[in-house]
Structure 1
């Protein structure tokens, strides 16, 4: 990798880290490109060489977060452990999630989580069908919408109530609601 490539990579990483740092401090709508440049110690030209605006930057960060959550959910661990891992990840980034999604009431997180859990339940429901488990419908799309919306709704409630329940209790509740799918 050339020195120029390393500088480009380091600049991008600094900008991403700056957004994450600023999201620990304030809601997304209050973060400016100047804030990002100051925190990342890069010029505006460098920022715009990497991202069209702060919305493209946050979209990039959300894609990375979705890939991380999908990696967790698509591993070979039992479903209860996978859900608990996701909840622990969300709680571990509490300020970031709160300032990005709860304070903003953004649809971005809901879409990110919806897509992630749709993949998760697609895998589970496909196995259930193959094993002859009697599902509420032979058509997967309505089931996927129902299950993923339920999980996302509970996660959003959990964040909005400032993580009022331990993640293990939320996992247990979800397991009781959906557990028949992975028994």
Structure 2
């Protein structure tokens, strides 16, 4: 007979099985929300068009830390940061839903270690962020924003690493709250 405190170790799924499970669960949750997919595809486009193009004609440059910066470039970086913050909020939402309906406990009891939960759940989020960042890059370049590819790739790498920090923090925050409104 397995004791409750030994249940997770006895039912351990293994790294690749757990990661595959978490990615498939997140993908299935994501594909049921068509509105969310549309929002993630069109939000970088619409934000750039309305903020950068719309106001860019009125505001050619912005002074940032003592230097003049092209307004469209400034907005481009702001939208990039917005994509990351939105992913953090989504991570809290998904973990809160998992906790509220008992899915988090089932996953943990079923052999998914907390690290696997954070890592596996983050993979699909990273793919979503990468797609949004590529869409943003394409739109920005279409409207004449000059982007340093090495710095942009470095920014995306930083985003990927920081998203796992934010995802871990989101899991910790979500465990302490009862519903998403909190």
Q: Which TM class, normalised by the smaller chain length?
A: 0.3 to 0.5
> Given the two structures, how large is their TM-score scaled by the length of structure 2?
0.44
Structure with more contact order per residue of length (Cα contacts < 8 Å, sep ≥ 6): 2
> Given the two structures, how large is their TM-score scaled by the length of structure 1?
0.44
